[in-house]
Structures are given as C-alpha cells and as structure tokens.
C-alpha cells in the first residue's frame, strides 16, 4: 500500500519568495512520485514526476522537486513565487510497474501575497 | 485543453435519481481512471479501465458503476443518489503505465445532489 502526507493544507508566501511545499510518502515498493497543480474550476495538471534516475526533477513553470529516499520525501520548490502560482498542489505516489493507480495527498493551497 | 473531455460540466439532480457522467480520453490513451473530489475526503480513486477491461477498483460504492466502450470513452453511472454524493468527478487518462506518462485530467463534472 502507498500513501502521501502533505504538510500544511495552506501555505502563504510573498511574491518573489521561495516556495516550499512538503510531501512525505510511504510505499512498500520503489515509488513513482508526482506533483500536480489544480487551478480553480479546472482539472489537475501534471507539474513533474520522478520515476528513476536523477533525484532532482525539473517541471513546468519553474518548479522542481527532489526525491530523498532516506527521508521518504519529495518536496516541491520554486525559487521565486509569482502571483500566477496561486493554486492547489497535490503530491501523489504510485508503486512502480504495471497499471497502478495513483494515490493523491490531501493537497496544499498556495496563496501568493503581493 | 488537456485532450480529455468530460460532459456535462455541471449537473444538478435530486436525491434518489440516477445520472451518467461521460469521459472521452486523450487520443491514443487506453487507460481511463475515475476520481471523486470532495472537500472532506480529497481525491478518491474510484475505478480504472484499460482498453475496455476493468483493471483496478478503489473506494467505489455499489451504487456506482462504470464501463469503457470499444471507442474507449467511459461512462460513470451513479444511482440512488444521496446528498453526500455531491462532489467533483474527474476522469483521467494515460497511454499506458502511469509511471511513463502520468495522468491527463479532464476538467471534471460538478455534481450537486439536492
């Protein structure tokens, strides 16, 4: 079984400040990890994913995440927040291999303050 | 436009009724996944189909059923509706294994049961 825990249901940052959204996972097999973003009244959009190989993964809109096996973490970061980054962000995990469903975290709403 | 089409976008119906939600996956994608998103339960996996066959089942109620047709579109049937079924229902598709491509989500159907 797999699960993800997102620390902080709401995060506020100032425009231009570092964005850090935390995600810890639990998986009985090597995980595949994802970050999705959901803008109001829209579906979820894939930001980035980790499968194998390089542990620092770059995604769209300047976001990146680092897979740390020893800490079972996959935190999402962006050096400088833009107003357009205000959205809800979901961390997700899937066991590697096969046609496996993705388990989502409960989401973190990011507020960007001008 | 993600390429995953969900209809209708909004649905208001009374308790005890039955509704059908429709999803057309992105062109070339064989897998369809249904998720329910509510404020209190977050994103809950309901069911997955791959090329017409059921592949995985999640927290789907017995009052709910789904199928995937030969043209790969999928329908989610919700019957004997209760107030608690009010939620956003998302369809997602993927070409093959989730790890390779991640999900592509539709914009959802907002179901309101009154």
Q: What are phi and psi of B91, to 5 degrees?
A: -110, 140
pLDDT in tens, A28-63: 788 899 999 999 888 899 999 998 888 999 999 999
| pLDDT of res. B21 | 98
Residue B56, CA atoms < 13 Å, CB-side half-sphere:
17
Please give the residue that has the higher pLDDT: either B24 or A100: B24
From first to last of its 114 residues, what are the pLDDT tens digits of chain B? 889 999 999 999 999 999 999 999 999 999 999 999 998 888 999 999 999 999 889 889 999 999 999 999 999 999 999 999 999 999 999 887 665 667 899 999 999 999
Q: What is the C-alpha separation between B51 and B67, in angstroms, rounded? A: 10
Interface probe with B: pick from A48, A102, A108, most Cβ of B within 10 Å: A102
Q: What is the C-alpha separation between B99 and A9, in angstroms, rounded? A: 26
Distances (CA, A) of B83 to A26, B80, B114: 33, 10, 6
Q: Say whether residue B114 is in contact with chain A using an 8 A CB cutoff.
A: no
DSSP per-residue letters across B70-111: TTS-EEEEE-S--GGG-EEEEEEEESS-HHHH--EE---EEE
């Amino acid at each position: 079984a797999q699960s993800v825990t997102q620390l902080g249901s709401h995060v506020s940052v100032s425009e231009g400040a570092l964005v850090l959204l935390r995600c810890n996972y639990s998986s009985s097999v090597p995980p595949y990890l994802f970050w999705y973003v959901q803008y109001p009244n829209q579906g979820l959009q894939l930001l980035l994913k980790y499968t194998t190989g390089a542990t620092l993964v770059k995604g769209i809109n300047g976001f990146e995440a680092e897979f740390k096996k020893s800490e079972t973490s996959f935190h999402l970061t962006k050096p400088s927040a833009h107003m357009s980054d205000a959205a809800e962000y979901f961390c997700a995990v899937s066991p590697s291999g096969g046609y496996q469903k993705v388990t989502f975290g409960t989401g973190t709403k990011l507020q960007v303050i001008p | 436009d993600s390429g995953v089409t969900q209809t209708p976008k909004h649905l208001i119906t009374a308790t005890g009724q039955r509704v059908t939600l429709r999803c057309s996956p992105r062109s070339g994608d064989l897998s369809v996944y249904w998720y329910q998103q509510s404020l209190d339960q977050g994103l809950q996996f309901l069911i997955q189909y791959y090329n017409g066959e059921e592949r995985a089942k999640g927290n789907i109620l017995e009052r709910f059923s789904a199928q995937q047709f030969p043209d790969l579109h999928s329908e989610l049937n919700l019957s004997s509706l209760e107030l608690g079924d009010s939620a956003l229902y998302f369809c997602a598709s993927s070409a093959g294994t989730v790890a390779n491509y991640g999900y592509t989500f539709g914009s959802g159907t907002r179901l309101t049961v009154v």
